[in-house]
Structure 1
């Protein structure tokens, strides 16, 4: 059975909280250690945590020990159990200039206990290691600024307890090196947080023997990302029930993050008996942007100059791939509304070079162009969402009824580019979806609009594929005949364009020529 922790959004809040305490986030008039500690408690409680600790006056400030945060895990069916995080010591020292110095021991434990209903508890023990981490908080209890830095901050996995057994899995470590940043927290009707961070690098290492308790294999992974810069923040409304994300979103909950890096690499290897697999990749930089707000979910990730190598016992030969750019973007509404909302998706696979052995299998005679492949897709649209996608109760009811969460009302193809084997197809399109009328062509909403298509060297590619025996000669001749009859030449007989129009009444034309659909 899947551990209930993965059935809820329960991991999001703990991770935000862990970052807040492990790398204290949110500097103006005098601020005291007691005010800062009270602020932290209020902030954590706004996420639904039950906070417990001993705050003891010491050396002109507070020493916080025994810090724990418990969070119920719920679903529409009821309680799934609880999650509890326990931290080591945190020192808050009042300074003469009205600021508060935040420090932690060089090594301090971080424990996560998950106690699900009807399943065995899970306990994860880690160490937070930083020999020189320090943060200075200034300002007031409701408008606080932090400056923080560290030569290194590490999280090291110590043990995992599951099904009544405690195991030390091996090496699992992540390091953030050359860290410096600022954070601001403003408190009114909501907690408004903004954080900016730079780091010389982030590296990680995993070396586990017997990743499957019943096996005898090994798993290794390591990687590095250099010259990191991130900016992020959010709004957490006071009084919002963070265990009900739909309600929290309606109250104004929003988060955003943007990360860039100059270069990255990763290697992994798995081996068990005769089975093995290895993968390596590198890139010359990229970015990661994500935001979640009542206006919707946005996700955008891309990497430049990507190189990949893969080999293994189930792979016939080692293979190397390269790409000029790989990217994925999504824009998705999440809240129900009577008004139209935007959505979209972007996919980029630019300048993809396939390994020679792949071409040797697909094209042993070298008849095709082996130039890099490119796929670009940019799709946008408008629609109406009838349920809150982050409301678990609504989504459960929707799943039980078999209904649709919303309806598409228009689609715009801003770009489609397919470039491979010496041929290229590009297109744009604008389509309208009338959900109140049935299509003349079938039992679905009526779709109508226009598309502009450009095809270069497609005729030559069809002939070559036919000569290679990859498509029947008759089909190749039919494709060529249709393209030549309907396509309008641009700069030559194998450079064609077409304006495709589908009317509201279901009439299809290509460059003005009617095409029967029945």
Structure 2
């Protein structure tokens, strides 16, 4: 998906959020509708609708929101039958939709035309807007909201063999949106549950998919700001000015996934449950940082050509990344983190290569943390794909943590290096490093002995590996080794004080 299309879809999501939550509040329903319409136009939509005033209420009928995305040869259109703004007499406005609200979606993208009709139903939905014309706060809630797919048409062909629905339970939240030269918004949302179900056959292959996923205790928050007109602009760099930001987080307490499929090779199943997890995003004109983690993962896969389920567990899966985006002569921070903790395999998987239980079947772990400094020569959001030169250079890298545990052995390490990008001769075109890394290895020889016993590692291949370890490591205990690899300011490479280069 290209950046312009993904940005427009972000606008679509944000505008639909105004339907699920209150729109803008002011002393009159007309003012609220005017500001709500202005916000949708800010997101890049063209609007058509009829307005009917009745006392303290303003009824909007036959609302159509459409958007063209010429850079992707795509367009998006959403229509709804009715929306009512009612003045409460206290400076607030109630925004109401029918209890059963039909929505029509139309998307054209790269020669594929998709039309869908969806019915959204709610129980106890309340949306109240308050504030001023320039800054509106709205509060929303519902016991439940459900959406079901009524019809789906792709390139003129009705896809009849498909069933899809979604539901939100115990929804509540607030959102504030300020309109000016800068568009800024803040949101807090919580829901007791969310679920999605899709069942049908692929119209081309005939393959069956039957999937359901559910989440419990969802919390979400966001804080954003961008220049007026930036989202609707066809220029990707329009948003990336000083002060632009999108900061958000989503958490959940559990997730469950069940999927059944059938293709030409036969039927299969995927089941997964998790504990708590979440996502974080910090996006500005100068950098993007994002991360996520999920805990207590248990997955089971039944493939058509495998007679028994493949079961895998994780104590935690996580990642963390920060990348500078803006060109600057000054060095900027970056980082990368991976966390795969307590990886467990079922006995079925172990027995495929270790039927006699020679290897310890302890849970495995991989933790990696890198950080460093880099100089960015060109703004990465407007990077020319055809440019031959690198858009930046790495000045320093630190190995903050390395932890690898598996089959009774473990490796750990830390270290840091700086790089002289003006010296590409000392290391054959690679910037000259300077620094050191310290590594500890425990149980490696014992693991090699077990692999030889199992027939997975030939003795003649193990011998040179042991010789290499002898050259680069120092024994400090029973099957315990350490190693320090250095590169000094003269470009000399040393292992435990012995010069190698």
> Per the shorter chain, which TM-score range?
over 0.9
Q: Which residue of 2 aligns with 1:506?
A: 491
State the 1:314 CA deviation.
Answer: 3.2
1:268 correspondence with 2:259: yes
Name whichever of 369-378 and 454-463 sits farther off.
454-463
Q: Which residue of 2 aligns with 1:331?
A: 322
Query: 2: CA distance between counterparts of 1:141 and 1:317?
Result: 62
Query: 2: CA distance between counterparts of 1:376 and 1:244?
Result: 39
Question: Paired residue for 1:310, among 297, 301, 317?
Answer: 301
| 2:247–2:283 contact (8 Å) kept in structure 1 | yes
Q: Which residue of 2 aligns with 1:127?
A: 119
State the 1:361 CA deviation.
Answer: 1.7
Question: 1:226-241 residue pairs with structure 2 within 5 A?
Answer: 226-240=216-230, 241=232
Name whichever of 433-442 and 226-235 sits farther off.
433-442
State the 1:215 CA deviation.
Answer: 3.5
Q: Which residue of 2 aligns with 1:366?
A: 357
Query: 1: CA distance between counterparts of 2:233 and 2:23?
Result: 20
Q: Which residue of 2 aligns with 1:66?
A: 62
Query: 2: CA distance between counterparts of 1:236 and 1:4?
Result: 20
State the 1:439 CA deviation.
Answer: 4.4
- In structure 2, stretches of 5+ residues that fail to align are none
User: What whole-Å deviation, never above 9, does each CA across 1:351-382 have from its counterpart, x for those lacking one?
Assistant: 01111122112222322111001011111122
For residues 24 and 362 of structure 1, do their structure 2 counterparts lie closer, same or farther at Cα, with a shift above 3 Å needed? farther
For residues 309 and 217 of structure 1, do their structure 2 counterparts lie closer, same or farther at Cα, with a shift above 3 Å needed? same
For residues 418 and 82 of structure 1, do their structure 2 counterparts lie closer, same or farther at Cα, with a shift above 3 Å needed? same
Question: 1:161-240 residue pairs with structure 2 within 5 A?
Answer: 161-208=153-200, 210-211=201-202, 213-240=203-230
For residues 92 and 275 of structure 1, do their structure 2 counterparts lie closer, same or farther at Cα, with a shift above 3 Å needed? same
State the 1:165 CA deviation.
Answer: 1.4
- Compute the TM-score of the two structures, normalised by the length of structure 2: 0.93
Does the residue aligned with 1:18 lie in a helix, a strand or coil? Answer: helix
| 1:344–1:378 contact (8 Å) kept in structure 2 | yes
Q: Which residue of 2 aligns with 1:515?
A: 500
Question: Paired residue for 1:413, among 399, 402, 413?
Answer: 399
Following superposition, which runs of at least 4 residues in structure 1 exceed 4 angstroms of deviation?
Answer: 3-8
Question: 1:434-449 residue pairs with structure 2 within 5 A?
Answer: 434-449=420-435
Query: 1: CA distance between counterparts of 2:3 and 2:322?
Result: 27
| 1:439–1:506 contact (8 Å) kept in structure 2 | no
- In structure 1, stretches of 5+ residues that fail to align are none
| 2:176–2:187 contact (8 Å) kept in structure 1 | yes
| 2:134–2:180 contact (8 Å) kept in structure 1 | yes
Query: 2: CA distance between counterparts of 1:444 and 1:233?
Result: 41
1:468 correspondence with 2:454: yes
State the 1:401 CA deviation.
Answer: 3.6
Does the residue aligned with 1:336 lie in a helix, a strand or coil? Answer: coil
Query: 2: CA distance between counterparts of 1:199 and 1:43?
Result: 25
Query: 2: CA distance between counterparts of 1:297 and 1:256?
Result: 10
State the 1:447 CA deviation.
Answer: 2.6
1:17 correspondence with 2:15: yes
- For the aligned residue pairs, the C-alpha RMSD in angstroms reads 2.3
Q: Which residue of 2 aligns with 1:39?
A: 35
User: What whole-Å deviation, never above 9, does each CA across 1:301-326 have from its counterpart, x for those lacking one?
Assistant: 11111100001213353111111111
Does the residue aligned with 2:31 lie in a helix, a strand or coil? Answer: helix
Query: 2: CA distance between counterparts of 1:456 and 1:412?
Result: 23
Query: 2: CA distance between counterparts of 1:152 and 1:436?
Result: 62
- Compute the TM-score of the two structures, normalised by the length of structure 1: 0.90
Question: 1:487-502 residue pairs with structure 2 within 5 A?
Answer: 487-490=473-476, 492-502=477-487
| 1:425–1:455 contact (8 Å) kept in structure 2 | yes
User: What whole-Å deviation, never above 9, does each CA across 1:325-360 have from its counterpart, x for those lacking one?
Assistant: 111222222333333222222111100111112211
Query: 2: CA distance between counterparts of 1:237 and 1:66?
Result: 30
Question: Paired residue for 2:312, among 321, 326, 333?
Answer: 321
User: What whole-Å deviation, never above 9, does each CA across 1:230-282 have from its counterpart, x for those lacking one?
Assistant: 11131132133543232211264322221111111110111135522210000
| 1:5–1:114 contact (8 Å) kept in structure 2 | no
| 1:25–1:184 contact (8 Å) kept in structure 2 | no
State the 1:387 CA deviation.
Answer: 3.4
Query: 2: CA distance between counterparts of 1:471 and 1:43?
Result: 65
| 1:327–1:347 contact (8 Å) kept in structure 2 | yes
| 1:439–1:447 contact (8 Å) kept in structure 2 | no
State the 1:293 CA deviation.
Answer: 1.6
